[in-house]
Amino acid sequence: RKVTGRQVRKALEHNINPFTKVPHTPRYHEMLEARRKLPVYDQMDEFYKIFNKNQIIIIAGETGAGKTTQIPQLVAYADLPHVNGKLVACTQPRRVAAMSLAKRVADEMDVQLGRHVGYSIRFEDMTEPGTTFLKYMTDGILLREATSDPTLDRYSTIILDEAHERTLATDILMGLLKLLAKKRSDLKIIIMSATLDARKFRNYFGIKKGSSVPLFKVSGRAHPVEVFYTQEPEPDYVEAAIRTVLMVHRAEDPGDVLLFLTGEEEIEEVCKKIKLEVDDLVNQDPDSVGPIVCVPLYASLGPQQQQRIFDPPPKPQRPNGPPGRKVVVSTNIAETSLTIDGIVYVIDPGFWRVSVYNPRLRIESLLVCPISKASAQQRAGRAGRTRPGKCFRLYTEKDFMSELEEQTHPEILRSNLATTVLGMVKAGVRDLVKFDYVDSPAPETLMRALELLNNLAALDDDGNLTPLGSVMAEFPLDPQLSKMLIASPEFRCSNEILTITAMLSVSNVWLLPSNQRREADAAKALVTVPDGDHLTLLNVYNSYIRNKHDEKWARNNFLSARALAEAENVREQLQRIMERYELELTSIADEKMMYNAIRKALCCGFFMQVAHRVGDQGNYLTVKDNQVVSLHPSCGLHPQPEWVIFNEFVLTTRPFIRTVTGVQPKWLLELAHVYFDLATFGDGETKTALKRVLNEKVGTSGRVKRLNKGMKKQC
């Protein structure tokens, strides 16, 4: 029995909600009115014709056409997942988008969020097993599910949305789903993209039984957008962006503004500055300009704050006064994931922040990079949603033509693949090199990932998954962290390592307001443990719990209550996985012994991220890679130990290591003897120093050897 557009339109108009058997509310009909205006709605008949006949479909269409909100609903009317006990999944590259879209669609379908329609993102599952039939989720979560349940039997249709963004998880999922499609003829797969050129995906999914994968094009209804460039390159894009917002607010007709910036701090800072400047103007002359509301939008915002992007602009201060304006200051998320109606002016400085991995140095750094031409076009398009708009590009036309790449570089070509490779091996991928990638990663990056996983004993020397690796893959964490967690019961400090891991997995807990810098630093000094930043994080978390999760206490101590609450949630989730695998939760009462135990457990996961002090300038040399690094200014180590383990290598003005804890070299030799086999070291200060330690140890007893044998089993 195949569903037609006519039947579905009838069901949509009907008084009873077919999914809940409850009468529709008036609000449902109001929202349906708006949905009828979306291009996808007009093409419903065509959609069902293609959907009914094909297993794999590519959908391409302008942002705002209704792909993300409507297509999963249309699929639900065809699949009837609530009757068949299956789910329809729709992936998003970003958490914020998954949450926000699930909420929107739950409202549109007149059902409760978290019941019939839900979302699932890392560390937060807002679904109800058995009831939820439509699930928005991050691509990372679906990839995780695919590793532990490679047949993905729970799903009747899987929709990979925003495929043009080419995130690592979406790329790998395309590969896995292409294979799975052959095994599960009942599974439908939809790839959705905002770029009209979907040739890449069509070629990838290729010819199936003589017919090519169909492309369903959703026609856009965009208005023209006039694009302006700067005459000269802008030396400071942040300053130029603020100037342009003010220019628009003073000189242009009513209509909201969307400004693209690169990250949370920058966005918050710019919001404050714009607000101050406009308030100044309004105070000087209330007739010159209207009020302004700046709304930030970035990944780590809470759901209520996110929702503010959909608020109407502020009202004029008095009747007939100059109209108010809403300015959304956003990361790339507003480029295609979320459509904000009412945007008429887009300001595009031409940058985004991306993580770039250097496999040779094993460094992942967040860099502010130029966007691609495709991105610039998407950004401009945001201005023409409701009426003709304007886009101000804060770069020259010449730079646009000659400096920007055509397409966004796929993430798989610039990422650390360790976590992904572990997942792929767990999912049963036998040959990582021959895997059918949309774009194949650099062999060097694959090698680095295999080497890391082998060093952590997650893969054996033949690349097979070890029992340890199998458990590691169950944790939604980087392999170093999951290894450390799994090793921690051996040192009787798993409760503490659990806390530290949770704290490392959430956004920054330290509030450092620029106007209260000294007070914030003093507050931080009070909780700092001089032996290591990891221990400081533990201390902060424990103080938070001791102070009964009090937000006021957090604020007074310049700590982010939101990040701490998040850490508590993450800790709980990780604890559940520990319990599932019968990993004992233990603590040591004696503080000094506990701190040593924690540092040993750290060594088990992070022995590849060790640095050794050289010279007397406070510099360190990373072990094996021999990079000269300094302790990040946020580091609280005192005095500076000779050997340290670090959580992160960051490249800003110069190379820094961040979140650093002192360790003893003998622990490294004992706990990671394969990696610290001195035969694998080049000559240099590090090797000499390690040799000295080794001689001392062997000189006193043969314990090292015996311990090595023992640890091989443990770690």
Binding site for Mg ion (CB under 5 A): 67-68
CB within 8 Å of 476: residues ≥ 6 apart: 122, 123, 140, 144, 573
Among ligand ADP, Mg ion, none, residue 65 binds (CB under 5-8 Å by kind): ligand ADP
Residue 584 interacting with ligand ADP (CB under 6 A) = no
Q: Taking the complex as a whole, how short is the minimal distance between the CB of residue 386 and ligand ADP, in angstroms?
A: 9
The residue within the footprint of ligand ADP, chosen from 104, 202, 613, 697 (CB under 6 A), is 104
Residue 38 interacting with ligand ADP (CB under 6 A) = yes
The residue within the footprint of ligand ADP, chosen from 44, 58, 67, 188 (CB under 6 A), is 67
CA distance 455 to 69: 44
CA distance 529 to 599: 13
Stretch that binds ligand ADP, among 58-66, 323-331, 373-381, 538-546 (CB under 6 A): 58-66
Stretch that binds ligand ADP, among 66-74, 228-236, 351-359, 450-458 (CB under 6 A): 66-74
Stretch that binds ligand ADP, among 56-64, 126-134, 388-396, 413-421 (CB under 6 A): 56-64
Residue 437 interacting with ligand ADP (CB under 6 A) = no
Cβ-based nearer residue to Mg ion, 69 or 528: 69
Residue 73 interacting with ligand ADP (CB under 6 A) = no
Residue 665 interacting with ligand ADP (CB under 6 A) = no
Pattern 295-334, ligand ADP, x by CB under 6 A: ---------------x------------------------
Q: Taking the complex as a whole, how short is the minimal distance between the CB of residue 21 and ligand ADP, in angstroms?
A: 26
Q: Taking the complex as a whole, how short is the minimal distance between the CB of residue 299 and Mg ion, in angstroms?
A: 16
Q: Are 525 and 487 in contact (CB under 8 A)?
A: no
CA 465 to chain centre: 26
Among ligand ADP, Mg ion, none, residue 186 binds (CB under 5-8 Å by kind): none
CA distance 362 to 364: 7
Cβ-based nearer residue to ligand ADP, 108 or 533: 108
CA 404 to chain centre: 24
CB within 8 Å of 548: residues ≥ 6 apart: none
Residue 43 interacting with ligand ADP (CB under 6 A) = no
Q: Taking the complex as a whole, how short is the minimal distance between the CB of residue 385 and ligand ADP, in angstroms?
A: 7
Q: Taking the complex as a whole, how short is the minimal distance between the CB of residue 65 and ligand ADP, in angstroms?
A: 4
Residue 534 interacting with ligand ADP (CB under 6 A) = no
Cβ-based nearer residue to Mg ion, 218 or 493: 218
Residues within window 623-652 making contact with ligand ADP, judged by CB under 6 A: none
Among ligand ADP, Mg ion, none, residue 609 binds (CB under 5-8 Å by kind): none
The residue within the footprint of ligand ADP, chosen from 43, 55, 63, 127 (CB under 6 A), is 63
Among Mg ion, ligand ADP, none, residue 132 binds (CB under 5-8 Å by kind): none
The torsion region of residue 431 among left (phi > 0), alpha (psi -120 to 50) and beta comes to beta
Cβ-based nearer residue to ligand ADP, 162 or 566: 162
State the pairing for strand pair 211-212/207-208: antiparallel
- The per-residue DSSP string of 199-235 comes to HHHHHHH-EETTEEPPEEEEPP-PPPEEEE--SS--S
Residue 61 interacting with ligand ADP (CB under 6 A) = yes
Stretch that binds ligand ADP, among 57-65, 123-131, 403-411, 663-671 (CB under 6 A): 57-65
Q: Are 309 and 65 in contact (CB under 8 A)?
A: no
CA distance 119 to 95: 9
Cβ-based nearer residue to ligand ADP, 31 or 577: 31
Q: Taking the complex as a whole, how short is the minimal distance between the CB of residue 74 and ligand ADP, in angstroms?
A: 11
Q: Are 361 and 627 in contact (CB under 8 A)?
A: yes
Q: 3-state SS string over 638-674?
A: CCCCCEEEEEEEEECCCEEEEEEEECCHHHHHHHCCC
Q: Are 96 and 299 in contact (CB under 8 A)?
A: yes
Stretch that binds ligand ADP, among 63-71, 181-189, 488-496, 529-537 (CB under 6 A): 63-71
CB within 8 Å of 517: residues ≥ 6 apart: none
Which sign, positive or negative, has the C-alpha torsion 280, 282, 283, 287? positive
Which sign, positive or negative, has the C-alpha torsion 7, 9, 15, 16? positive
Residue 375 interacting with ligand ADP (CB under 6 A) = no
CA distance 180 to 158: 11
Residue 195 interacting with ligand ADP (CB under 6 A) = no
Q: Taking the complex as a whole, how short is the minimal distance between the CB of residue 711 and Mg ion, in angstroms?
A: 50
Q: Are 587 and 614 in contact (CB under 8 A)?
A: no
Q: Are 317 and 286 in contact (CB under 8 A)?
A: yes
Query: Reduced to 3 DSSP states, what percent helix, strand and coil does the chain have, rounded to the nearest 5?
Result: 45, 20, 35
Q: Taking the complex as a whole, how short is the minimal distance between the CB of residue 97 and ligand ADP, in angstroms?
A: 9
Pattern 332-361, ligand ADP, x by CB under 6 A: -------x-x--------------------
Q: Order of strands, edge to edge, in the sheet holding 134-138?
A: 124-126, 117-121, 134-138, 87-92, 155-160, 188-193, 56-61, 215-218
Q: Taking the complex as a whole, how short is the minimal distance between the CB of residue 336 and ligand ADP, in angstroms?
A: 6
Pick from 227, 274, 273: nearest CA to 250? 274
Backbone angles phi, psi at 113, to 5 degrees: -65, 130
Among Mg ion, ligand ADP, none, residue 100 binds (CB under 5-8 Å by kind): ligand ADP
Q: Taking the complex as a whole, how short is the minimal distance between the CB of residue 464 and ligand ADP, in angstroms?
A: 41
Q: Taking the complex as a whole, how short is the minimal distance between the CB of residue 310 and ligand ADP, in angstroms?
A: 4
Among Mg ion, ligand ADP, none, residue 341 binds (CB under 5-8 Å by kind): ligand ADP
State the pairing for strand pair 643-651/655-662: antiparallel
Minimal CB distance residue for Mg ion: 68
Among Mg ion, ligand ADP, none, residue 229 binds (CB under 5-8 Å by kind): none
Cβ-based nearer residue to ligand ADP, 374 or 468: 374
Cβ-based nearer residue to Mg ion, 134 or 363: 134
CA 436 to chain centre: 24
Backbone angles phi, psi at 450, to 5 degrees: -65, -40
SS3 category, 58: strand
Q: Taking the complex as a whole, how short is the minimal distance between the CB of residue 33 and ligand ADP, in angstroms?
A: 13
Cβ-based nearer residue to ligand ADP, 47 or 558: 47
Token pair for residue 257? 């503004």
CA 428 to chain centre: 25
Cβ-based nearer residue to ligand ADP, 106 or 173: 106
Site of interaction with ligand ADP (CB under 6 A):
38, 61, 63-70, 100, 104, 310, 339, 341
